[in-house]
Structures are given as structure tokens and as C-alpha cells.
Structure 1
Amino acid sequence: MNQASRTWLVLCALHGVASMLMWWAGEQVVDALTWRADGWLQQPWTLWTSSWVHMNTPHLIGNQVALGALAAFAWTIRPTLACALAWLLAWPLMQLSLLLWPQIGYAVGLSGLLHAGAMVLAVQLILKRIAVPKAPRWGGLLALGLLVKLAVESGWSYPVVWDAGNDMSVVQAAHLAGAFWGLVLGLALGRRQRKPVPVDNAAVSVR
């Protein structure tokens, strides 16, 4: 495994472990690490740490499963260092973008960040910046799935909805913001990967 793919997987491991540690942390710690629209300037670290806070067990398990799927996909396609950098930059920008919706008082969880990561990979595959067979096809399918999900949610019109099944509010705007920054940064960072040129052994002379 190359250094580039390890960087992405390290980020996945960081999010998974930190989310579990946060689940067992005390209420005061969780409160200090939760992003709030009216207090983040006094607690700027919450632009990062709030992604690790989860409301309840189904919320945590759902995001951990999705994170595992993203890590498994990355293990297969070996994302570049540029992919990891794009995902890293999207992290606080996604959270900060929620200020565009005044009805969002606070937001927690990995889902917005996972949408950002998935979109980064989709864009990089479409542009052949990850050297795998049929990269544009895989990237197109991933991007299509994300776009259909975002269209169904309509996060621009319904930034926050109540999920009765999990007894919690879902900040759909975070999914939209994450995918947006994943798209922008996925386009901005990286370059097309060249496949190695095969060597014709018959044409090589021994001297």
C-alpha cells in the first residue's frame, strides 16, 4: 500500500476512533466540542470536533458503518494524497457553511464529512486522477448516487428534518454542504494519473 492511500485510511481511522471516544466522554466534554452557530467563534475547534459527536446509538452506528464502507472503497482504489488533502480541507468548511441556514443552531455527526469524502473520490475517479480500471465509470456511479440522494433530501429547502425512527433531527444541509466542498476541492486538487508504460521485453537487448 502506498503512502497516499495510507493517508486517507489514517483519516478514516481518526474519525472512527475519535467518534467512539467521544461517545464515552462526559457531558461537559461533549458540550465543549459541539459546534454551535452562535458560539463557534469562542470555540473554533468545534469546526472539527463536532463531526465526532453523535446524538444516540443508531446515529453513531449508522455513521460508523458508512465510514467503514468508505474506508473499504478507499482500500480498493488507493486514493492519492491530493484526495486526502481535499477531504481534510472540506472538514471545517462543511461545518462553517451551515451558517447559511439560520434555522441550524448546532450540528453534530460524521454524515456531512462522509458526503464530502465520497464526492472527493467520485470527482477524482471521473477525472482519472486515481489510476484504476474504468475509473470514470466508478466515479460516475458514485456521483450519481450522491446526487440522487441530495435531490431527494432537498437540503437547500429542508435543511433540518425530524427522523422519528431514530428520534433525532437530521441536518440535511450538512450533507449538501459536504458534497459541495467535496466537489469543489476534488476538482481543484490533484492531477491526472498516468498508467505505467509496459516494457516490451522482446525489444530489450542485453549488453
Structure 2
Amino acid sequence: MNRSRAWLVVCCVHGVASMLLWWAQAGAVEALTWRADHWAERPWTLWTSAWVHLNTPHLIGNQLALGALTAFAWVIRPSLRCAMAWLTAWPLTQFTLLLWPQIGYAVGLSGLLHAGAMVLAVQLMFKRIPIRKARRWGALLALGVLTKILLERGWQYPVVWDRANDMSVVQAAHVSGVAWGLLLGLLVALWPGWSADGGSGGLG
């Protein structure tokens, strides 16, 4: 398996774009926000809405989570195929929110971060990333993500009010991200061409 810096580049793009958009004018932010009633007129919002954040705690929370995912990827160095799976999950995570009519709009990186975590978890469990005890780390990561999803029950409560941060949380985005991360992660892991042991090399 060939390791790649693509995943790290994607993380940097998300981090920088989120910060730049935070300082953008309200008109620009609105043009980049995904809304269920007219997203088809602005299809780019399937991507750009992930960079929009409602308030400072929302931005900081997602930036911290992105930093953790970036640090983890720095250690395990996922392949280009992993990065492509994550990129594919990007618009699909947003598009799937149409399944919940209660959701009028959705912004932020959280759904996409759930997708990325699940992609990495699957790759580790299938030993497609050559690190020591890969399956154990993958199982722990998957367990953590799935436990969070089960506790939230985002399919039943797609939008909840977060009093602490004074904002609505679209929990359905977490469900959507995990679902696409799992599906695309499996597709990448089972794609023809992988060696039986997931490639040569490893980390101590």
C-alpha cells in the first residue's frame, strides 16, 4: 500500500477554509450555505457548507476535532484511496440530509469528520494501513464513533438544541457521515488490488 499526504492536505483545506469563511461577509457565507429548499440552484453548497460555522464555540469545537483527526492521520498516513473515499463522502453526507424534512439547512464540519473517522476505522480493521495492532485501533475508533451515534439517536432526533453553545445541532449529519464513511471505507478496503496483509512496511 502506498501512503499519501492527500489526507493531510484535505485536512488543511478544511481548516484554512473554515477560518477564512469565518471572517467573510454575511452575503458570501449565505451563498455558501446548504439549504434544503434550493440547494439544487446552488449545488456547490454540498461542499462549501461544511466550512460555515454558526458561532465561535461551533468553529472551535470542529477545529479541535479536525486537529485530532489530522494528528491521527499524520501518524498512520492513510493511502490516496482513503483520501478519495473521504472526498467522495463530502457532498454525499450533505445530500443525504434531504431524507429528514425537518432539516432546513446544515453547516459545519461535524458530519464530514464523522465520515473521515469511519473511513480510517474501516481501513485499520481490514489492516489496509500497516501499523502495529491496526485492527485493535480500528475497532476502538469504530466503537467510539458508533457509541456516540447510538447515544445521540440522530435518525430519530435529527436536530436538537444545544443550550451550552446556543445553537441547533444537526445530529442527522453525524448519522449520514458515519453511514457514508462505513460504505466508502468498505469499498476502498475490498477494492481489488490490495495485498492480503494490506501492504509492506509498518510503524513501531
With the shorter chain as reference, the TM-score category is over 0.9
Assess if the C-alpha contact under 8 Å between 1:5 and 1:75 holds in 2. no
Given the alignment of the two structures, is residue 179 of structure 1 paired with residue 178 of structure 2, yes or no? yes
Aligned to 1:116: 115
- Superposed, 1:132-147 pairs within 5 Å as 132-147=131-146
Aligned length: 196
Which residue pairs with 1:42 in the alignment? 41
How far apart, CA to CA, are the structure 2 residues paired with 1:60 and 1:173?
19
**What letter matches 2:62 in structure 1?**
N
Corresponding position of 2:12: 13
Q: Secondary structure at the match of 2:168?
A: strand
Q: What are the residue-to-residue correspondences of 1:1-207 with 2, within 5 Å?
A: 4-190=3-189, 191-192=194-195, 193-196=198-201
Q: Is the 8 A contact 1:161 1:171 kept in 2?
A: yes
| CA RMSD in angstroms, aligned pairs only | 1.5
Instruction: Give the alignment's TM-score, normalised by structure 2.
Output: 0.93
Q: Secondary structure at the match of 1:169?
A: strand
Alpha-carbon separation, structure 2, partners of 1:6 and 1:186: 18
- Measured in 1, the distance between the counterparts of 2:34 and 2:65 equals 22
SS of aligned partner of 1:170: strand
CA radius of gyration, larger in = 1
What is the CA distance between 1:3 and its match in structure 2? 7.4
Q: Map Cα deviations across residues 78-104 of structure 1 (whole Å, 9 max, x no partner).
A: 101111000000000000000000000
Alignment-mate amino acid for residue 52 of structure 1 = W
**Stretches (4+) displaced over 3 A:** 2-5
One-letter code aligned to 2:199: R
Deviations 1:144-178 (A, max 9, x none): 00010000000010000000000000000000000
Q: Normalized against structure 1, the TM-score is what?
A: 0.92
SS of corresponding position for 2:43:
coil
Q: Which runs of 5+ in 1 are unaligned?
A: 197-207
Deviation at 1:185, TM superposition (A): 0.2
Provide the rounded CA distance (Å) in 1 between the counterparts of 2:139 and 2:124.
8
Report deviation, 1:188. 0.2
In 1: Cα distance, 2:140 partner to 2:19 partner: 31
SS of 1:185's partner is: helix
